[in-house]
Amino acid sequence: MFRQVSKTHAVALAAALLILLGVIYFYLPYDIRLCNDSNRAVPDSRDVEDTSISKIMESRNCPKNGSWKVGELLMPSKITYEQPSTQQGRTDVNSVTNWNAPLVWEGTFDPVVIDSIYKPMDPRIAVVVFAVGKYTRFLKGFLESGEKHFLVDFRVTYFVFTDHKDEVPEIALGKGRKISVITVPSAKRWQDVVLGRMKWATATIDQQIRGEADYLFMMDIDSVFHGRFGAESLSRMSAVLHRGYYKNTHRDKFPYERRPQSQACIGAGQGDYYYTAAVWGGYLEDMYKLVRYCYEQSEIDAKNNIEAAWQEESHLNKYLLYNKPTKVLSPEYLWSDYDSKPDDIRVIRISQLVKNYAEVRPNGGHD
Ligand code: UD2
């Protein structure tokens, strides 16, 4: 009898213990369950979307079955870098927007810190450039200088859209970097190339790039890199201040589209900054949404017999007024050989070339 009771008790006790262990396990912080590296905070995969970056990051040191939030700023231990200061920094320029996004200038970030955060993520970066008609002449300079300065040591694919496949030069590329050539038709008007970029990019992101990249940049081809254009430029949506309007220009003087008939219209008294359409980038899906938006809005305009003053740049500015960029890049991220360098531009990272518009464009003409 005694033996029977104790056996029943033992079974009940074991069951209770098991339940208790189960409860403790369930309520244990998720990072303790998955990862022994106490330097890392591993996000709770229960509220995390499964994205390609999170898949890449899973394969890093830590959890095999966890996932990571895109945009997290994880840093490996044992990196040495200068202590950041709350008192010292750039005082000649504003380095934060009024929606609290970083405004990136030389001196506002430590490349050692930035690289140690982003390089282990090993994101795939797509760069979409168009070289239609005579613009193929700019490919060599852009690509060669990109290999020296653009997200060096990152996986980069340059998607070159061109009507002259045979004019895409052979370039020595770094490890993990490639060129993918996409054929597009020639155009009679430069405006059609500029706007056509939105149409072709929308279709190609949808059909091809989506499976091959985590971040995407849209860039003008007639530019050359001169300095580091690194991971400090990466964010969900990064837009570059147009060099011509970044200081001392009242927003009512920005070259926004002003005609109410256009979808891109921005009224007086509105607007934050004037962004260039020559360099913009972000997470692939956010960029897809924006590129498609520019395409669709310009199509609506075309049906209404209107073309926005600065084509896709006008639609881009309209979108970014209501969907604020998560990083604003200073004009270091697109300067121009037309202008001399003012003191607040400490580094020219990429610069638009001087070109003979009448000679290089199919229908000639300046802006
Ligand atoms: C400005 C913007 C540009 C766009 C355009 C809209 C700057 C630095 N750039 O450029 O982003 O918003 O205005 O009007 O502010 N292209 C060709 N073949 C052509 C014509 C253009 O491939 O025949 C491509 C090429 O990649 C070029 C880009 O379109 O870099 C922009 O054209 P652009 O350089 O002629 O226009 P631009 O300098 O006025």
Looking at residue 9, its pLDDT comes to 74
Phi-psi region of 176 (alpha: psi -120 to 50; beta: other; left: phi over 0): left
Please, what is the Cα angle at 61 between 57 and 62, to 5 degrees? 80
Give the mean model confidence (pLDDT) for residues 35-64.
38
Which of 106, 313, 332, 359 does the annotation list as catalytic? 313
Q: Which atom of ligand 1 is nearest to the CA of 131?
A: 22
Pairing outcome for strands 178-183 and 155-162: parallel
Cβ 198 under 6 angstroms from ligand 1: no
Per residue in 252-266, pLDDT tens?
A: 999 999 999 999 999
Give the mean model confidence (pLDDT) for residues 159-186.
97
Whether residue 162 contacts residue 183, with contact meaning beta carbons closer than 8 Å, is answered with yes
Is 313 among the catalytic positions?
Answer: yes
Q: Using CA positions, which residue lies closest to atom 27 of ligand 1?
A: 220
Looking at residue 97, its pLDDT comes to 98
Q: Which atom of ligand 1 is nearest to the CA of 161?
A: 22
Does 65 have pLDDT greater than 50? no
Does 41 have pLDDT greater than 60? no
The alpha carbon dihedral of 108, 110, 111, 117 has a sign of negative
3-state secondary structure of 150: strand
Q: Which atom of ligand 1 is nearest to the CA of 223?
A: 30
Cβ 257 under 6 angstroms from ligand 1: no
Q: Which residue has the tokens 């040591």?
A: 153
Whether residue 344 contacts residue 252, with contact meaning beta carbons closer than 8 Å, is answered with no
Cβ 221 under 6 angstroms from ligand 1: yes
- Pocket probe for ligand 1: among 218, 220, 280, 338, the residue whose CB has the most ligand atoms within 8 Å is 220
d(Cα 244, Cα 346) in Å, to the nearest integer? 16
Pairing outcome for strands 335-336 and 350-352: parallel
Q: What is the DSSP letter of 254?
A: S
Distance 220 CA to ligand 1 centre (A): 6
Does 121 have pLDDT greater than 50? yes
Distance 322 CA to ligand 1 centre (A): 24
Looking at residue 24, its pLDDT comes to 57
Looking at residue 53, its pLDDT comes to 52
d(Cα 310, Cα 317) in Å, to the nearest integer? 10
Distance 135 CA to ligand 1 centre (A): 9
Cβ 310 under 6 angstroms from ligand 1: yes
Residues in the chain: 367
Distance 194 CA to ligand 1 centre (A): 6
Q: Which of 11-25, 63-77, 81-95, 189-203 has the highest mean pLDDT?
A: 81-95
CB atoms near residue 112 (< 10 Å):
12
3-state secondary structure of 157: strand
Domain boundaries, the chain: 2-59, 103-360
d(Cα 261, Cα 231) in Å, to the nearest integer? 39
Phi-psi region of 305 (alpha: psi -120 to 50; beta: other; left: phi over 0): left
- More confident: 367 or 315: 315
Whether residue 93 contacts residue 83, with contact meaning beta carbons closer than 8 Å, is answered with no
Does 39 have pLDDT greater than 80? no
- More confident: 64 or 231: 231
3-state secondary structure of 13: helix
Cβ 193 under 6 angstroms from ligand 1: yes
Q: Which atom of ligand 1 is nearest to the CA of 360?
A: 23
3-state secondary structure of 238: strand
d(Cα 172, Cα 145) in Å, to the nearest integer? 11
pLDDT band at 212, cuts 50/70/90? very high
3-state secondary structure of 285: helix
- Pocket probe for ligand 1: among 188, 194, 294, 312, the residue whose CB has the most ligand atoms within 8 Å is 194
Cβ 277 under 6 angstroms from ligand 1: yes
Residue 36 neighbours by CB under 8 Å, 6+ apart: none
Q: Using CA positions, which residue lies closest to atom 36 of ligand 1?
A: 194
Q: Name the least confident of 20-24, 215-219, 322-326.
A: 20-24
Cβ 146 under 6 angstroms from ligand 1: no
Whether residue 195 contacts residue 300, with contact meaning beta carbons closer than 8 Å, is answered with no
Cβ 255 under 6 angstroms from ligand 1: no
CB atoms near residue 195 (< 10 Å):
22
Topology of domain 103-360, CATH: Spore Coat Polysaccharide Biosynthesis Protein SpsA; Chain A (3.90.550)
Per residue in 291-333, pLDDT tens?
A: 999 999 999 999 999 999 999 999 999 999 999 999 999 999 9
Looking at residue 194, its pLDDT comes to 86
Q: E-assigned strands of 227-285? A: 237-241, 275-283
Per residue in 66-75, pLDDT tens?
A: 344 566 788 8
Q: What is the mean pLDDT of the chain?
A: 87
Pairing outcome for strands 327-329 and 237-241: parallel
**Number of alpha helices (DSSP H) and beta strands (DSSP E) in the chain:** 9, 11
d(Cα 161, Cα 351) in Å, to the nearest integer? 21
Could you tell me the pTM of the whole model? Answer: 0.83
Cβ 224 under 6 angstroms from ligand 1: no
